[in-house]
Structure 1
Amino acid sequence: MHIGKRVFLYLTRKKGKNLILCGIFFLISFSVLAGISVFAGASQISKDLRSNIGASFDIRPYEQFVTENGQVSSNGTPVIYESAIRQILDVIGTKLKTYNTEHHGFAKGQNLSFIAGMGHSEDSNMGEVIAVRDSSLTKTFFNEECRLIEGSHIKLEDKNKILISKELARKNQLSVGDTLQLTHAELGSENGDYIDLIKEKTAFATVEIKGIFEIKNMTDSGLNPTAKKAENMIFSDRQLLFDLKEQKQDVYEGELSFFISDPLLLNEITEKVENLTSIDWNNHIVQKNDFKFSKISAQLQTIQNIVTSLIVIVSVLGIVILMLMMTLRIRGRIKEVGILLSIGRSKKEIIGQFVIEAVLVLFMGFLLAVIIFIPVSTMLNTHLFATVMQETIKDIQLTTKNTNYLQLDFYKTILLLGTETGMTALTVIVSSAMVLSLKPKEILTKMS
């Protein structure tokens, strides 16, 4: 009888035993498929998160004060030059997503009444101007201390555009699209009163209100002068402070923010930046922000470690169980083996028959595992990568948030099937060795 026919007859006649073996193959295949998919999914979502959320670092100036003869004086406002920014951009290279600069000044407006602060007077009726490349990237908006409610943010291409607070707009009956004439100012004090140090006005600019924001999380102690009240902040494009002669070309006094595409490179990049000699690090500091990626990455790494352990455990237990089952299975077929040997069948052919039988049952179990895993993967994906990290990434807008990271990869699935086939064949060979090492006469003697 041909080997193929013997395999067919055994599989159809011993349905109960083969169904049990198929169930074991199914459980092993399903567990390993799930484990590999979760491991690969965690790696992929980590990459997607890196590219989606990126990271940033800020270079913040801080003014140093010295005490001499009982008098406290400033060492001057720290500045960074455009040449230093160019060097930073060279260090970041292709990993740069965007960057933002800030410069601070003060302004008064024609027929513009600011919200009164401590010691308010006509002389101190001014607001602080924050000139930026992109207002949406400032910490005020980025950290949601303020929220734009009308209009749009200041962008790099804007000229003579401003954002004002809801309170300032309401007091002066202003709306998006209105124009104002501003002039330069400088906050100072004299005899305990807040004053404008620029008495003669020589610089003017006509600006358009591009947007209106509301203040959400800022607190006011009530001790701030008018110019320092949050309601009197004015965000503008960079050109305004040039026009008002309060900013020099290529010189920056405010905070610089650089956004990069890969959080894993944040430490490496900031270390190189801190080695630049063009920045006075005695009065500047670097602050890093990976937008919670380290926390998310730690969660994903924990998932991967657990899954790796489970894959190893399932694989070892599967091999042990298969070894025991195949050993008992083949010992139960001693009579069949003896007859086949006695009629001249080779041990190689007999082992080949056992291997083919086991591999066919494996294919059935594996196919069933794949069919069931496909719909289950969606639910498992939601539980692992949505529910588990929901609180961590709820404020991050992901472009891949609806992706099923547990979808089966064709090549990995084929590789797993090949690996299981090889392990199954090896298990059958090892399990058959004890019986097939005997001679036909010894086997027939054991049968009797």
Structure 2
Amino acid sequence: MYIVKNALQNLVRNRGRNLMIGGIIFVIIVSVVTALMINNTANGAITDYKTRFGSEVNISPNMQRVQEEAMKNNTGDNLIIRQPKISSEDLIKFGESDYLQSSIYTATTKGNSDQLNPIDKEKGTGGGPSLSSKTEGGDLITEQVGRNYYHKIMAGDYMDFENGLRELTTGSSYPKNRDECIISKELLESSGLKIGDTITVTSALEEVGDTPENSNYTDIEWKMTIVGTYTDITDEYSAGMMENAYANRRNEILTTFETLSEKIVDGLFGIEVAAKYYLKNPDLLDAFTAEVKEKGLESVFDVTTDSSSYSKVVGPVEGLKNISVTFVIIVLAFGAIILALLSSIAIRERKYEIGVLRAMGMKKSKILAGLWCETLVITTICLIIGLGVGGLAAQPVTNMMLEQQVAAAEEAANNNNILSPGASLTQIGGNPDESNTQPLKNLDISLELMTIIEIVGIALLLSSLSGIITTRKIVKYEPIKILMERN
């Protein structure tokens, strides 16, 4: 108790010198509070993005290698180049990888149902192969061959709902389980059905022949339960599309991927699968590429990652994090040096006082404890004020720095998208700016308990080390020598 009381008296008596030391400690604490708040929040945002999104993978044919393979295998006079495709089975197989954060599948097929009354049924069917020929009079006649359908069956595609072009009606839910579906409100009403009814949907898988007439078909069917309807403000027909029931978007049936994928048969076409893969980290691309090659991906395909979009989103925040870490290190290093120098000067001025206390019989440990207690009181006061000021300053500083990082990232992305001389479009792999990926432009800074604990620890450690280093130089002298030097 005596030590604390004496320390407070000394603080008041030497307030000018202590204000200078307190000012340095205050500046250090405010700087460290701001930097640590930015760093910890940025860490959380980066981790959250990586957990939720990952890095998108693109698997696309390299047209140069496709041409080389075609020339190598060509035996006739005419060079025939076919677009290479990845089978639905392989796409699903590629998604079963430990390197992926997630795999998103969509699928489409064609179908009919006797229980549904399609919109624009009188305009005919579509979706199947057709042949065009000219009659003697020169008129173009289109003859449909094979199977034709009224409905497009889609799985996992809800982009129109996300864009606000479609909306579930009251009492409806998205299909979640196998053999569940939703249809447009117009189609439900025209068919005289209600939510909860079960419909039988038929389709066929095709064994492709040398001509459409020589293809063989295997019939398949589903019994789907209607779990909801949706209102639709999309255009009934896409621009340039032939108008028939199959092309009318009000006749689309939306179901789950599991519903369609269970009917996939190796070697047969009819259910088209598309996949989006997201790596846990862009650095895993090489390992994932090697894995899909082992699983059967042809050598004509390139496996790339959308590192531009990934960097566009996370890059500014990672840059902000790196700046904050560097800033903390610089502030602590220079702050410690300046604080040690000021403390050393202050202690030298109190050398005679320490000599008198030693001559009176006070132990070194008590003197050190008293001096440390003075530093502790100053640090505590600065810490309380500094936490408040730093907490208020962190958000505007973050906004300013993040804005600069976003601008720098966008400029770098634009520069990377400029086609260099001699480069091909297949080498570019698409323009990442055409995607909907947006950088993290807002970072809500908050002062968390862990940040407060870190700051308190740093402040106490810094002030204690600077005080101990300087006071040890004083207490090592004998009291008589100190008093003689004073005289």
Give the superposition deviation at 1:296: 2.9
Tell whether 2:429 aligns with 1:422: no
- Cα-to-partner distance string for 1:392-442 (whole Å, 9 max, x where unaligned): 8995699x99873442333x4334323432332222232234433332232
What is the number of residues matched between the two proteins?
A: 412
Deviates more, 1:287-296 or 1:384-393: 384-393
Tell whether 2:112 aligns with 1:100: no
Aligned equivalents of 2:20 and 2:465: distance in 1?
A: 20
Give the superposition deviation at 1:336: 1.2
Q: Letter of the 2:389 partner, please give it.
A: I
Residue equivalent to 1:52: 52
Tell whether 2:353 aligns with 1:336: yes
2:104 aligns to what SS in structure 1? strand
Aligned equivalents of 2:188 and 2:404: distance in 1?
A: 41
Q: Letter of the 2:157 partner, please give it.
A: S
Q: Letter of the 1:49 partner, please give it.
A: Y
- Cα-to-partner distance string for 1:244-287 (whole Å, 9 max, x where unaligned): xxx9645567452134473457626632542333x351565545
Give the superposition deviation at 1:310: 1.3
- Using the size of structure 2 for normalisation, the TM-score is 0.64
Residue equivalent to 1:364: 381
Aligned equivalents of 1:290 and 1:136: distance in 2?
A: 25
Residue equivalent to 1:274: 292
Tell whether 2:123 aligns with 1:112: yes
Distance 1:211 1:59, change over 3 A: farther
- Cα-to-partner distance string for 1:213-246 (whole Å, 9 max, x where unaligned): 647xx997x7x8889x99889865579xx99xxx
Residue equivalent to 1:134: 156
- Using the size of structure 1 for normalisation, the TM-score is 0.68
- Cα-to-partner distance string for 1:279-307 (whole Å, 9 max, x where unaligned): 35156554544682223333223222222
Residue equivalent to 1:306: 323
Deviates more, 1:1-10 or 1:121-130: 121-130
Aligned equivalents of 1:238 and 1:5: distance in 2?
A: 77
Distance 1:248 1:296, change over 3 A: closer
- Cα-to-partner distance string for 1:113-155 (whole Å, 9 max, x where unaligned): 799xx99866479999865421236xxx69x9x8734668985
Please point out which of 349, 368, 391 is paired with 1:351: 368
Q: Letter of the 2:294 partner, please give it.
A: L
Work out whether residues 55 and 291 of structure 1, in 8 Å CA contact, stay in contact via their aligned partners in 2. no
Deviates more, 1:204-213 or 1:96-105: 204-213
Work out whether residues 133 and 156 of structure 1, in 8 Å CA contact, stay in contact via their aligned partners in 2. no
Give the superposition deviation at 1:41: 1.6
Give the superposition deviation at 1:361: 0.7
Work out whether residues 132 and 235 of structure 1, in 8 Å CA contact, stay in contact via their aligned partners in 2. yes
Tell whether 2:36 aligns with 1:36: yes
Aligned equivalents of 1:436 and 1:148: distance in 2?
A: 79
Aligned equivalents of 1:386 and 1:235: distance in 2?
A: 44
Counterparts of 1:162-173 in structure 2, within 5 Å, are none
Give the superposition deviation at 1:28: 0.7
Residue equivalent to 1:88: 94
Work out whether residues 150 and 211 of structure 1, in 8 Å CA contact, stay in contact via their aligned partners in 2. yes
1:275 aligns to what SS in structure 2? helix
2:107 aligns to what SS in structure 1? strand
Aligned equivalents of 2:152 and 2:475: distance in 1?
A: 87
Work out whether residues 175 and 255 of structure 2, in 8 Å CA contact, stay in contact via their aligned partners in 1. no
- Cα-to-partner distance string for 1:341-396 (whole Å, 9 max, x where unaligned): 22122333222211111111111111211133334444445555689659989956
Distance 1:249 1:157, change over 3 A: farther
Give the superposition deviation at 1:91: 1.9
Aligned equivalents of 1:263 and 1:363: distance in 2?
A: 42
Give the superposition deviation at 1:14: 2.7
Residue equivalent to 1:262: 280
Give the superposition deviation at 1:48: 0.9
1:438 aligns to what SS in structure 2? coil
Distance 1:237 1:219, change over 3 A: closer
Work out whether residues 109 and 154 of structure 2, in 8 Å CA contact, stay in contact via their aligned partners in 1. no
Q: Letter of the 2:448 partner, please give it.
A: L
Q: Any gaps of 5 or more consecutive residues in structure 1?
A: 165-173, 187-194
Aligned equivalents of 1:147 and 1:120: distance in 2?
A: 40
Please point out which of 436, 444, 447 is paired with 2:483: 444
Give the superposition deviation at 1:335: 2.6
Distance 1:214 1:347, change over 3 A: same
Residue equivalent to 2:425: none
Work out whether residues 96 and 258 of structure 1, in 8 Å CA contact, stay in contact via their aligned partners in 2. no
Aligned equivalents of 2:150 and 2:400: distance in 1?
A: 48
Aligned equivalents of 2:318 and 2:180: distance in 1?
A: 48
Q: Letter of the 2:104 partner, please give it.
A: Y
Distance 1:254 1:316, change over 3 A: same
Distance 1:235 1:267, change over 3 A: farther
Work out whether residues 176 and 212 of structure 1, in 8 Å CA contact, stay in contact via their aligned partners in 2. no
Aligned equivalents of 2:181 and 2:461: distance in 1?
A: 70
Give the superposition deviation at 1:329: 1.0
Work out whether residues 129 and 234 of structure 1, in 8 Å CA contact, stay in contact via their aligned partners in 2. yes
Aligned equivalents of 1:27 and 1:132: distance in 2?
A: 61
Deviates more, 1:374-383 or 1:348-357: 374-383
Q: Letter of the 2:318 partner, please give it.
A: Q
